[in-house]
Amino acid sequence: MQGVFLMIRVCLAASAVLSLAAALPVAAQGVVNVAIIGDPDTFDPMVSTKDVVSVVTQHMVETLYTFDKEWAVVPLLAADMPVIAADGKSYTIPLRQGVTFHDGSSMDSADVAASLERWTQKASRGMAVAGRIDSITADGPDKVIITLNEPYAPLMSLLAFSNSAAAIYPEEILADQITEPVGTGPYKMQERVPDQYTQLVRFDGYTQPGAAAGERKQIPDEIRFIPVPDPNTRAEGLLSGQFDYADSLSSEAFDRIEASGTAETVLLEPFGWPIFGVNHKKGLMTNLEIRRAVQAALPVDDMLFAAFGDEKFFQTDGALYPEGWAWHTEEGTDLYNVNDPEKAAEHLKAAGYDGEPLRILTSRQYEFHYKMAEVASMALEMAGFTVQMDVVDWATLAQNRDNPDLWDIYITHSPFLPEPALTSGFFASSREGWDNPEKNAILDRFIAETDPEARKAVFAELQKVTYEDVGMIKIGNFNALNGQAKGLEGVAPSPWPAFWNASKPQ
């Protein structure tokens, strides 16, 4: 493991009762009800980087590889780790035999090769590596060969990741858009009622992966994902017993859950980093002096305190990876948390800023995003900016951020990922469009380098240029709070909790 430890703190929690305005579908025996922040806007994880999509779709759609609990890459639909050529340019991947899709068809190399081709065309992470792939070919029914034109160290992590995922589908359903998920996973779609629930049921044709990937026991008969945009409603529904698990709770809910007899807190510590995504394609933030003005103006301590309320939920830390990670470095962090309105005003003057509104795109479904945006807005106005806050629901934000005409900054967050190249914002092909020649050259060296120690040194250069060119803006580290019903077992603490092994007292 590359130094990341998700530590679960399970605390007793006290009962409260709340009825949701909309009644849930009648629960049958063996149903696990999961409150999530909103409806997934797609069930095709290949075209999305949103956690809410990954959490749901990982139960239905699988990849060739996955991560074990130590963040090592292990086979899932692949039968084994690939045979990699000595020059690092060829990956021969054996496939598991006897794997069945939800439509009853058998998975073979033609399905895998066609799915991977689509991934290089449709997925942000696939597109980032597409220029380095010469070919993806089926070699008999149970083997696929990926041929590169240069070594690409992060390839295995990309093939294992569950968002912007290299998902495997039947070749026959591949299209520009996939609306009906047909995968190989332990659960399949039964019914979706928009804004009410997504119902998954056990797939009886499922074949278990190897031991390294972990057994997917298919314990619940059904898993229902219920979109609950308001974090307080998610917490109250958990406390009342309406939900067995509630994702992404606000820090204010911690004490209520901790004092309850019906629920337990699940604290992922450290979880990840809030990020201000920067629009490098169009608008104000294409000007380096404007970007530096924003970076200099932000009062990070105040933003984190407003967002999380207690230091047990956050750390003021400029390193893109915290201490304990192999990727930790302090390079460039002298530009973190400057909190100097006068310095920001100097950058604005150098930019010739004329009062054009700085558009901040955010949502209240992740309440901490909105609270950080409020504090940032006040600080930016003190520095001389005119600020326009565009507050929308998360689905709209996810749509609007793909249109560079509609925003200058958008607010998101990410878990700490085991491979830095999984952070799409480093790539010019991302929605942010950070296309800096110096950064591009560093990134090219980073992803081509295979020696672990040499990669660490190159990543330090990448972090430094991230600060100097304001490629993205890290706000700090934070610990994520989820909650589960007391007695619920089999759900490992994770940024993307899975429920195939979930069991609860009857």
137-149: pLDDT as tens digits: 999 999 999 999 9
Taking Cα atoms as reference points, which of 419, 2, 418, 492 lies closest to residue 214?
492
Asked if the model's pLDDT at residue 92 lies above 60, the reply is: yes
Q: How far is CA 137 from CA 174, 393, 410, in A?
A: 17, 41, 39
Average pLDDT over residues 354-378: 95
> What does the pLDDT read at residue 354?
96
In the chain, the percentage of residues whose pLDDT exceeds 70 is: 94
**Could you give the CA distance from residue 84 to residue 211 in angstroms, rounded to a whole number?**
22
Instruction: Give kind and range of the element (H or E) at residue 85.
Output: none
331: pLDDT confidence band, cut at 50, 70 and 90?
very high
pLDDT for the residue 226 = 98
* pLDDT, mean over the chain: 92
Tell me, what's the pLDDT at 505? 81
Q: Using DSSP, state whether 145 is helix, strand or coil.
A: strand
Mean pLDDT in residue range 209-216: 92
Query: Strand, coil or helix: what is 458?
Result: helix
Rounded CA gap, 404 and 130, in Å?
23
With residue 90 as reference, give the H or E element that holds it.
strand 90-94
Q: What is the mean pLDDT of residues 283-307?
A: 97
Nearest-10 crossing angle of helices 341-351, 288-297? 170
- Cα–Cα dist 418/213, whole Å: 16
- DSSP per-residue codes, 286-315: GSHHHHHHHHHH--HHHHHHHHHSSGGGEE
DSSP 229-283: --HHHHHHHHHHTS-SEEEEE-TTHHHHHHTEEEEEEEEEEEEEEEEEEE--SSS
Evaluate if residue 22 carries a pLDDT over 90. Answer: no
Q: Is 430 helix (H, G, I), strand (E, B) or coil?
A: coil
Token output for 253: 């809910």
pLDDT at 27: 38
Q: Is the pLDDT of residue 29 over 80?
A: no
Phi, psi angle pair for 450, to nearest 5°:
-105, -15
Confidence of residue 450 (pLDDT cuts 50, 70, 90): confident
The predicted-structure confidence for 217-239, as pLDDT tens digits, reads as follows 999 999 999 999 999 999 999 99
| Encoded amino acid at 264, one letter | E
pLDDT at 5 over 50: no
In the chain, the domains with their CATH numbers are: 12-59+180-269+480-485 (3.40.190.10), 65-173 (3.90.76.10), 272-479 (3.10.105.10)
